[in-house]
A and B are shown apart, each in its own frame.
Chain A
Amino acid sequence: MVDAKPLLKIENLVKHYPAPGHGLDKSRVVRAVDEVSFTLHRGETLGIVGESGCGKSTLARTLLRLVEPTSGKVLFNGEDLVGLSSKEMRARRCQLQMIFQDPFASLNPRMTVGQILSEPWVIFPDILPRAEWKERIWYLLTRVGLSADDASRYPHQFSGGQRQRIGIARALSVNPEVIVCDEPFSALDVSIQAQVINLLEDIQQQFGLSYVIIAHDLSVIRHCSDRVAVMYLGNIVEIGTWEQIYGNPLHPYTQALLSAMPEVRTKDRKERIILEGEVPSPLNPPSGCRFRTRCHRAQPDCAQNKPELRVRAQSHQCACIHIHD
């Protein structure tokens, strides 16, 4: 796409948690992320959508090794992060950053904004000589739309939107190549959300960043992403360019999800596919296709084989056995 060699390549990433109350029984596990593969190219934004419990947040943490993966590979510039020792991994952390969902919980209440932003430089003194800290903090703060005086203030003195800007500045302070954003807008008010979306796009262009944006809001994902992956119960069920996912969704779950999205304008409203029930427990997912219990097009054979992600059109993959066209 943008670059022949992907910046980040995830191969069969798996994260299983021991099931609560079954500490000794290794076979009972919560399959939070199950055999997920995708690639991310330089300068690209990949959106990951799905409902709560689909494993998208675990995926974000697993690929940054904030949570240790059970198996699989995370190839960053060709190097597998999963095999690294924790010391080697810490040295790579500057290249992969994260922006968190809750701007009220993601900043240490006992540290000033200046201390928060300069913490990585304390840990890795090679990044920036101490003499340049002050100037760099000022630059970062003004870049994300805050003022230089804010460096001496504490997080509680800021509003939610401003705190999210501090979180973005912190991620930028180490000059990363990839930023994983876990629901970066969901805690923000609508009018603030648009500002932060614009800010993320600006800094992406300026610093040549690649994003993995995780969100449940489909309109935000449409706006921000070049490619979109749809997750359901730990699996990617469909992945493609935003035009393909929004214009020609193939998987019944993607179709239902898009139809459930409330639209402001009457002309945008689609015929609603109301799904039955709720997402089953990842402790005991349905056999075969995991979506079949709620699928409006389920057939008996959906229970037998687990559908693989298959290429349907250029770069458009879908995991459903009943799509032949």
Chain B
Amino acid sequence: MAVVDVKADMQSDQPVLDVRDLKVTFQTPRGHVHAVNGVSFHVEKGEALGILGESGSGKSVSVGAIMGLLESPPARIEGQVNYRDTELISAPASVTRSIHGDRIAMIYQDAITSLNPSLTIGNQIGELFKVHRPNMGRREIQAKSIELLEAVGIQPARERVNSYPHEFSGGMNQRIMIALGIALSPEILIADEPTTALDVTVQAQIMRLLGDLRGQIDMALILITHDIGLVAENTDRLMVMYGGGPVETGPTDAIIERPAHPYTIGLLNSIPHDDMKGKKLIAISGSPPKLNEMPKGCVFAPRCAMAKDMCRKEIPVMTRIAPDHSSACHFAQEVVDG
């Protein structure tokens, strides 16, 4: 572990994770389905990146590809996922095994089904150490497990370590998931809808916990969600996805203050703010495209109020409208200027 840390410090100006032109295609009885169509992003050390999208936007499939969780076939993955100097997609399993779950960890939406019901939580944390840190002793593992449970606020940790998942509530299980996620002090924690199944008051607890832990172990966070409020409050940078690809990337505040893509604007308008009380919401018409019948040109064009002929023919590329703020719209500049 020490070796990795030194290495990390030497290259601190280089992104920890660099994803380039990631594409995921599924083979299905009805032909190929392009679930992810050219996603590129990077994660700096210690930062929080939000990936915002609705169902079918490709956000979960993208991280599935990054984490090596997609079964292939039916999935076909192209592009590059660089964790520091290692390209994960072409790397053999012996290499990725030491990165997935160790340097890049993941927590899921549904904590209770992600935990093994027949093992105590102490055993499940211990299992992680046995696989990834084979030279750790039993006592050390036990001590570390208790320390982790304390860190995620499970009290009294010394007793609870011998409990089974069903003895905990949903929020507590999500805390245990987080303990498992941070157990090996990963550099990146991917949280896929971590609070969707939880109540708002518990969501607030969990997001505060994640924020605190991130500060303590200098861990980058990729927060995948459909909830704009959640990314707005908890991330530094944001990637908005639609129909399998990114439509806008940039600093979270900049995107919310000055959205540069009609879809982002539509999403922001779809949320009922207090000043919309008594008025009709400005909804985006239509519904997201089916993955096997993507429109020609811009994927958002059929629902876009500003779409012109060009949008239905040419696929827009990411254009920079400010340093670090890009939008995949032919009229990005006009959109920003309003």
Contact = CB atoms under 8 A, between A and B. Distances in A.
Are chains A and B touching directly in their complex (CB below 8 angstroms)?
Answer: yes
Interface of A: 51-52, 159-162, 189-195, 197-198, 201, 216, 218-220, 222-224, 242, 246, 256-257, 259-266, 268-269, 272, 274-275, 278-279
B266 interface: yes
Interface string B147-189: 0000000000000000000000111100000000000000000
B287 A268 contact: no
Contacts of A266: 253
B229 A263 contact: yes
Given A192-B287, A262-B233, A222 B277 contact: yes
B282 A194 contact: yes
Contacts of B251: none
A191 B201 contact: no
A275 B272 contact: no
B226 interface: yes
Interface of B: 54-55, 169-172, 199-205, 208, 226-230, 232-233, 253, 256, 266-274, 276-277, 280-285, 287-288, 303
Contacts of A162: 287
Given A219-B273, A222-B277, A242-B277, 9 more contacts: A51-B202, A159-B287, A191-B303, A219-B271, A219-B272, A260-B200, A261-B229, A262-B227, A263-B229
Contacts of A246: 274
B283 A257 contact: no
A219 B170 CA distance: 23
Contacts of B169: 278
Contacts of B285: 195
A32 to B, nearest CB: 17
A51 B200 contact: yes
A189 B229 CA distance: 14
Contacts of B270: 190-191, 193-194
Contact of B272 (A159, A197, A274): A197
Contacts of A192: 54, 287
A175 B228 CA distance: 37
B149 to A, nearest CB: 16
Interface of A (DSSP majority class):
helix
B200 A257 contact: yes
Contact of A190 (B172, B226, B280, B303): B226
A197 B271 CA distance: 10
A189 B54 contact: yes
Nearest to A261: B200
Contacts of B204: 259-260, 272, 274-275
Contacts of B55: 160, 189
Contact of B284 (A191, A259, A263): A191
B267 A190 contact: yes
Contacts of A218: 200
5 contacts: A159-B288, A190-B228, A191-B284, A262-B203, A274-B204
Which of B202, B203, B266, B288 counts the most A-chain CB atoms under 10 A from its CB?
B202
Which of B170, B203, B274 counts the most A-chain CB atoms under 10 A from its CB?
B274
B89 to A, nearest CB: 29
Contacts of B229: 261-264
A143 to B, nearest CB: 16
Contacts of B283: 191, 194-195, 197-198
A262 B207 CA distance: 10
Contact of B228 (A216, A259, A264, A269): A264
Contacts of A216: 199-200
Nearest to A242: B277
Contacts of B232: 262-265
A264 B54 contact: no
B201 A260 contact: yes
- 7 smallest A-B Cβ distances: which pairs? A262-B229, A223-B272, A194-B283, A194-B270, A51-B199, A189-B54, A260-B204
Contacts of A222: 272, 274, 277
A268 B199 CA distance: 20
A260 B277 CA distance: 20
Which of A263, A278, A279 counts the most B-chain CB atoms under 10 A from its CB?
A278
A150 to B, nearest CB: 13
A159 B287 CA distance: 8
Contact of B256 (A201, A224, A264): A264
Contacts of A275: 201, 204-205
B112 to A, nearest CB: 13
Given A218-B200, A279-B199, A198 B287 contact: no
A192 B208 CA distance: 29
A218 B200 CA distance: 9
B208 A274 contact: yes
B201 A223 contact: no
Nearest to A52: B199
B54 A191 contact: yes
Contacts of B171: 278
Nearest to A218: B200
A94 to B, nearest CB: 29
Contacts of A201: 280
Contacts of B271: 190, 194, 219, 264
A194 B281 contact: yes
A161 B271 CA distance: 16
Nearest to A281: B169
B287 A161 contact: yes
A234 B278 CA distance: 30
Nearest to A192: B287
A254 B215 CA distance: 30
Contact of A278 (B202, B228, B230): B202
B272 A191 contact: no
Contacts of A197: 272, 281, 283
Contacts of B226: 189-190
